[in-house]
Amino acid sequence: MYPEQGIKQQRGAGLPVALFIITVLALIVTSMAQQQESAGASVSQQILSQRAFYAAESGAQVAVTEALSGGSCGAVSSSINFSSGGLSSCSAGITCTSVQADIDGSPAPETVFTLLSNGRCGSGPEAASRTIEVRVR
């Protein structure tokens, strides 16, 4: 019933508590935004790495066809640049070596091709590279 006496007993703790809660929420939101950005960059790099793998795989398939149809490493292209679809702006560098080996015990040795395909996608700090090695006879 004495309003002045109730006002004097109030301490004003609401403002510091509100500032503390706002600060804590701001820190939580900031850390969540940084985590989301990091996860997005990780997914982007993973996709680029998968594209580089498929570029290397495609380069190896082309090299196998060229090596078997040409009969020598001279018939194999040294690089392939992809310009359309999911592999656009990717490339594959291919190296070929061959050896003569007696594999099945026949008197004539067989030619064994070792094909190394290095797929690359992207440029600068956001680049990915994958390598595939294939042996065929």
Q: What is the structure's pLDDT at 29? A: 92
Mean pLDDT, consecutive 10-residue stretches, the chain (137 aa), reads: 59 83 92 85 87 94 92 88 88 92 81 94 88 93
- Tallying the residues shown for the chain, one arrives at 137
Q: Specify whether the backbone of 126 is left (phi greater than 0), alpha (psi in -120 to 50) or beta.
A: beta
Contact 85, 55 (CB under 8 A): no
Q: What is the structure's pLDDT at 54? A: 94
Q: What is the structure's pLDDT at 94? A: 94
* pLDDT single digits (tens) 59-90: 999 999 999 998 888 888 889 999 888 888 89
